[in-house]
Amino acid sequence: MAEALLKVTDLQAFYGESHILHGMNLEVGQGEVVTLLGRNGAGKTTTLRAIMGMVGQRSGSIAFEGTETIGLPSNKIARLGVALCPEERGIFASLNVEENLLLPPVVKPGGMPLEEIFDLFPNLKTRLKSQGTKLSGGEQQMLAIGRILRTGANLLLLDEPTEGLAPVIVQQIGEVIRKLKEKGLTILLVEQNFHFAATVSDRHYIVEHGRVIDMIPNAEVETQLDKLHTYLGV
Amino acid sequence: MFELLGIPPQVLFGQLLLGLINGAFYATLSLGLALIFGLLNIINFAHGALYMMGAFVAWLLLNMLGIGYWPSLFLAPVLVGLFGILLEKTMLSRLYKLDHLYGLLLTFGLALMIEGLFRQMYGVSGLPYPIPDALKGGQNLGFMFLPNYRGWVVVASLLICFATWFLIERTKLGSYLRAATENPALVQAFGINVPRMITLTYGFGVALAGFAGVLAAPIYSVNPLMGSNLIVVVFAVVVIGGMGSIMGAILTGFGLGMVEGLTKVFYPEASNTVIFIIMAIVLVLKPAGLFGRAR
């Protein structure tokens, strides 16, 4: 495995009184695409939010490019080059598409120019003046991904980017993720749909009850299919 | 001379002008309240007291330091804004995770303390503040007499309201503010220092109140209770316009001022209650307010 860009060690996280993560351990190498798989409520989304600094209380260690971020507020973490595409997409209703796209500030050089984002997501270019939430679900997902590509962030946290989308759009998003990987971006993906995950990821972590219980390299998905089915309860 | 529904035009337009001036204060104050509520989720009951502070700061600048109206129009809002930032930093910022009610109680308490303090020092009789020389006198418009200063109050309020609207709806900074009003956690996760933005927004909203206070100083006498008399109506304006809507606050402010003025002409007995009657009707028919989005 390449040198770890993100190293999470013994991560504990809480929402109010509830203890969600019980010692997560995971690593994501520079340029890797890694998936968190697991049942609903296993703590996958919370893991992404904890890495982003968006949960109330957390402990353990989250090192990004060697910098410890466990004590930093989310705006500082973002400035290091971490960006989140949230599960609910987080498109702002009071902003038009263009404002949504330009909202996240550039945090590092090397972000994707707007033209390239429009090449990936041609629909966005024709809808720039529309209200953000007037877009279709697929277009909103493209907008949510597109806006974090501009910022130069080199670790993208994508929370269920294919949820509720038509198969042809899921394919399109798969292609985008492969293109981003070719460009050298590092991606930590949360997915329910491991058939989709298998088409884009290098490795899969299995999450259960707030910790990682197994890791399966993508090459072994075929041979470990039974085990995966047991983990995911499909 | 023509008459309209048996009302002489001087009376009609005179009351409309008064309504427009009241509307200018309603608009400027409810604009600040709407901004603050949108981002901080706090119903700022101290707004009236801070408006009064704006007038007093102008009075003090004039009588202690000889600083006149025009510099005060800039300085007093800045000083009131800085005071607001201090309040936000030391007190309000602790309440964001709690229910609205805590912010309301805290700011209500602050309003009482600020007003009590000024009452203790300056009494309740009211202190005169002169109209600046450039705005003395008035214009005869044929159908009515327009005092220059009153015309200026309407123009200045319109300008500041429009500038605020433009800042929020048409600029990059404004897009941060709108986005943070919807989902502060996500905006912060994009790398924006939302806590600082909240502090500055409170300071700005409160500075608007200070600005209105300076505008009011030459019209109404500078008086520790001038804010509490006004703020109840302003809250009704905000409820009618819809909490958190910028254009809604401006239009409702001016509109209701005029409605109040017209009521004074046609049915004076209701002029003090008409806004509250409208509020009740709006709350029944459109609980989120005329321009508000349900949330």
Summarised one tens digit per residue, pLDDT across range A89-113 is 999 999 999 999 999 999 999 899 9
Examine the predicted complex and report whether its ipTM is higher than 0.90: yes
Rounded CA separation B281/B49 (Å): 28
- Candidates A46, A77, A94: best to mutate against B (most CBs of B within 10 A) is A94
Q: Which of residues 157-196 of A touch B (CB under 8 A)?
A: none
Residue A224's pLDDT is what?
Answer: 87
Q: Which of B178, B183, B190 sits opposite A78 (nearest CB)?
A: B190
What is the pLDDT at residue A154?
94
Residue B144, pLDDT score: 80
Could you give the C-alpha distances from A141 to A100, A187, B16, B184, in angstroms and in order? 12, 16, 51, 20
SS3 per residue for chain B: CCCECCECHHHHHHHHHHHHHHHHHHHHHHHHHHHHHHHHCCCCCCHHHHHHHHHHHHHHHHHHHCCCHHHHHHHHHHHHHHHHHHHHHHCHHHCCCCCHHHHHHHHHHHHHHHHHHHHHHHCCCCECCCCCHHHCCEEECCCCEEEHHHHHHHHHHHHHHHHHHHHHHHCHHHHHHHHHHHCHHHHHHCCCCHHHHHHHHHHHHHHHHHHHHHHHCCCCCECCCHHHHHHHHHHHHHHHHCCCCHHHHHHHHHHHHHHHHHHHHHCHHHCCCHHHHHHHHHHHHCCCCCCCCCC
Q: Which domains does chain B have, with CATH numbers?
A: 14-285 (1.10.3470)
Residue A44, H or E segment: helix A44-51
Query: Over 50: is that where the pLDDT of A1 sits?
Result: no
Longest CA–CA separation in chain B, Å? 66
Q: Which residues of B fall within a CB distance of 8 Å from A104?
A: 190-191
* Of the partner residues A54, A102, A148, the one whose CB lies closest to the CB of residue B185: A54
Question: Smallest CA–CA separation between A48 and chain B, in Å?
Answer: 11
Domains and CATH numbers, chain A: 32-41+80-232 (3.40.50.300)
The predicted model scores a pTM of: 0.89
Q: Please indicate whether, in this complex, the C-beta atoms of A103 and B182 are within 8 angstroms of each other.
A: no
Q: Which residues pair with A63 in a beta bridge?
A: A7, A68
Residues of B in contact with A102 (CB under 8 A): 172, 175
Q: Cα Rg for chain B, rounded, in angstroms? A: 19
Size of interface A-B (CB pairs under 8 A): 57
| Residues B219-260 pLDDT 10s | 988 999 999 888 989 999 988 988 767 888 899 999 999 999
Q: What angle do CA B183, A185, A142 make, to 5 degrees?
A: 45
| Interval B53-64: pLDDT, tens | 999 999 999 999
Cβ separation B191–A90 shorter than 8 A: no
B→A interface, C-beta within 8 Å: 172, 175-176, 178-179, 181-183, 185-194, 293
Contacts of B185 (CB under 8 A, 6+ apart): A54, A74
Q: Using CB atoms and an 8 Å cut-off, which of residues 53-82 of chain A contact chain B?
A: 53-54, 73-75, 77-79
- Contact call for B191 and A75, based on CB within 8 A: yes
Percent of chain A with pLDDT over 90: 82
Arithmetic mean of pLDDT, B73-98: 94
Largest CA distance in chain A: 49
Higher pLDDT, B264 or A52: A52
Mutate: best of A74, A88, A157, partner B, most B CBs <10 A: A74
Give the closest residue to A55 by CA, choosing from A113, A15, A112.
Answer: A15
